[in-house]
Amino acid sequence: MDTRYIELSSIVNRLVFLDSPYGRAMRRWQPRADALVARGGGALAFCVHVTDAGATAERLRARGHGVELLTFAREGSPVSFREALLTDGPPWAPFFVTYEPDRQTILAKYSAGRVNRGPHDLAGILIETPDPRASADWLGELLGIPPGASPTVVPLPPDRP
């Protein structure tokens, strides 16, 4: 595909946590990851950048979802981020993140010369699920994205970084 997308499929993937500060903070997901690995793999979660994780959490709660809101900040670091994590979705459900300062400032000021997105930007995510069509419907509704040409593909806006 020439566009960015999330595809729901029965193909197996695998996700492994590194021993990093963030990986240790996400230990609550480790039982899910272990269960997925025991079954042969699968997507655990992926991130969707939003302009306000707090407002996103409130919007999702108003629609009946359980949401945990977390802030990650290291003392002395000029960069922090806030995440809204679904507590009632499938194990592969996305989480939503907002960076402070915004991503463009981080890339320009704090990562200048260290991050080169290059020509190999992520164009899609393939997610294993027993019912790809229902999962794509659920994800499209959660993200507010209308269905694409395929019933198992959730197209992402082309201007989304």
Assign 79 a pLDDT band (cuts: 50, 70, 90).
confident
Q: Look at residue 35 in the predicted model and tell me its pLDDT.
A: 74
**pLDDT tens for residues 103-122?**
777 667 666 666 665 555 56
Give kind and range of the element (H or E) at residue 52.
none
Task: Please spell the DSSP secondary structure of 57-81, one letter per residue.
Answer: HHHHHHTT--EEEEEEE-TT-S-EE
pTM higher than the cut 0.85? no
Q: Look at residue 109 in the predicted model and tell me its pLDDT.
A: 67
Phi, psi at 148, each rounded to 5°: -95, -165
Q: Per DSSP, which regions of the chain are E strands?
A: 5-9, 47-49, 67-73, 80-86, 95-100, 124-128, 153-155
Assign 20 a pLDDT band (cuts: 50, 70, 90).
low
Amino acid, res. 130:
P
5-9 sheet: strands from edge to edge: 124-128, 5-9, 153-155
SS3 state of residue 109: helix
Summary count for the chain: helices (H), strands (E)? 5, 7
Q: Average pLDDT over the chain, rounded to whole?
A: 75
Q: CA-CA distance, 120 to 116, in Å (whole number)?
A: 10
